[in-house]
Structure 1
Amino acid sequence: MREQISEGFMVFLSDGDEGIGSVREVRHGLPELLVYIENAGDFVVPRSAIKAVHSGKVVLDFDQLDLRLRNAIRHARDSEDPNFISPASSSEDE
């Protein structure tokens, strides 16, 4: 039996990857979810595109997603600065 999906669950393409968004709305009675994708906004995801649900995670099947959503996922991290170093990992105290 599949774990029930709840609003706020993180969304992934595979276990071990970084999250790409979160479940915004569970549409009871409909075969779909509303998912927020980072840097792109809300998208409707058919339940048929869900590979797994566990531990508060929803894992999507990339090949089952429409082209617009796939493109949004490809750019989910575009606004992140690749040179950013978290203050928690800096060595100022040395």
Structure 2
Amino acid sequence: MQVGDQVYLKEGGTMFGAVRAVHAHGLQIYVENSGDFDVKAEAVAAVHDGKVLLNPEKLGPALRTAISHAHRAEEAR
């Protein structure tokens, strides 16, 4: 896992953000249209090929809401 990796909720899903920083106990991600969020390491389900997959059940409500709004501006077009 490294800065710049794309972040998803599931394999084959829509990318909603990118890794901003990696820390000993987790990472910071940027979510499109919402800003930066801290994610605990236990919420990371998998890492491969420049992708980070998160387990939505281990994410807080504010982050889940931000993810659901990540592409709202694009959908309005």
TM-score, normalization by structure 2: 0.94
How many Å apart are 1:70 and its aligned residue?
A: 0.5
Q: Distance in 2 between matches of 1:81 and 1:54?
A: 28
Displaced runs of 4+ in structure 1, greater than 6 A?
none
Query: Any gaps of 5 or more consecutive residues in structure 2?
Result: none
How many Å apart are 1:44 and its aligned residue?
A: 0.0
Paired residues in the alignment total 77
The equivalent position to 2:9 in structure 1, one of 13, 17, 21, is 13
Which of the pair is proportionally richer in helix? 2
How many Å apart are 1:79 and its aligned residue?
A: 0.7
How many Å apart are 1:81 and its aligned residue?
A: 4.0
Larger Rg: 1
Residue identity in the other structure for 2:12: G
Q: Which has the higher relative contact order, 1 or 2, with Cα contacts under 8 A spaced 6 or more apart?
A: 2
SS in 1 for 2:63: helix
Q: For the aligned residues, what is the CA RMSD? A: 1.0
Q: Distance in 2 between matches of 1:71 and 1:81?
A: 16
**% identical aligned pairs:** 42
Q: Distance in 2 between matches of 1:63 and 1:79?
A: 25
How many Å apart are 1:32 and its aligned residue?
A: 1.2
Query: Any gaps of 5 or more consecutive residues in structure 1?
Result: 84-94
**1:41 aligns to 2:44 (yes or no):** no
**1:55 aligns to 2:46 (yes or no):** no
How many Å apart are 1:18 and its aligned residue?
A: 1.4
